[in-house]
Amino acid sequence: MEKHVVLIYPHPDDEAFGASGTIAKFRNEGVPVTYLCGTLGEMGRNMGNPTFANRETLPEIRKKELIDACNVLDVDLHMLGYRDKTLEFESRQEIAEHLKGILEEIKPSLVITHHPEQAVHPDHNALGAAAVEAVRLIDESERPKLWVQAISQNHVEVLGDPDIVLDITPFFKTKMDTILAHRSQAQGVLGSMDKEKVDMEEIAKHRLGTERFYTWNF
């Protein structure tokens, strides 16, 4: 059993779509989980339909959604304070040192992040690369395990099949509640859950019922 799990993703809702079932599984086992969220996703384009946000109001909306989602998951939230869509331009070494300091305080047994080259969005790749470097910098005797998540369309061709495939359907309600806590984003991805709710949940379960990771070997 894990001692403590740390999740490192750049945007509010990355945890919901990517690993909330896995997090719910760990929390069900009594494992503490901490989420290090890189940005507030303030440059996101999804303002709702009908529109309910603008560039000025979106950061606070997404911050509240993030807090709500972490309350659903029962995890500790640490907002890193970086700016959305700029992580690729930040010093990877400085971010890695920042993350390393936090990880050395928490002393997790497992860190989960994005694959540094197979995660589509530049922020995903950049923070994933910094997280990998942060774990690498930790003394080998103290270094946690590292799982990386690849979401590019051709990642299986490039990397092979993931070695960690988790059936999270027992925790699917928690996953859906976490996704829906990110109201501004869930609407665009899943469509309205008010229409044909059961059918939408079945579709979502088919698409999101497993979570896959690669073990990173240094």
| pLDDT tens per residue across all 218 residues of the chain | 999 999 999 999 999 999 999 999 999 999 999 999 999 988 865 555 556 566 668 888 899 999 999 999 999 999 999 999 999 999 999 999 999 999 999 999 999 999 999 999 999 999 999 999 999 999 999 999 999 999 999 999 999 999 999 999 999 999 999 999 998 887 656 554 444 454 556 666 777 899 999 999 99
Question: How distant, in Å, are the alpha carbons of 187, 191, 202, 215 from that of 194?
Answer: 10, 9, 14, 38
Contact call for residues 175 and 210 (beta carbons, < 8 A): no
Decide: pTM greater than 0.85: yes
Strand 145-149 vs strand 110-114: parallel, antiparallel, or unpaired? parallel
- Residue 192: the pLDDT is 46
pLDDT the model gives residue 53:
60
- Show the domain range for 9: 5-215
At 112 the three-state DSSP class reads strand
In the chain, the number of structural domains is 1
Domain harbouring 158, CATH code: 3.40.50.10320
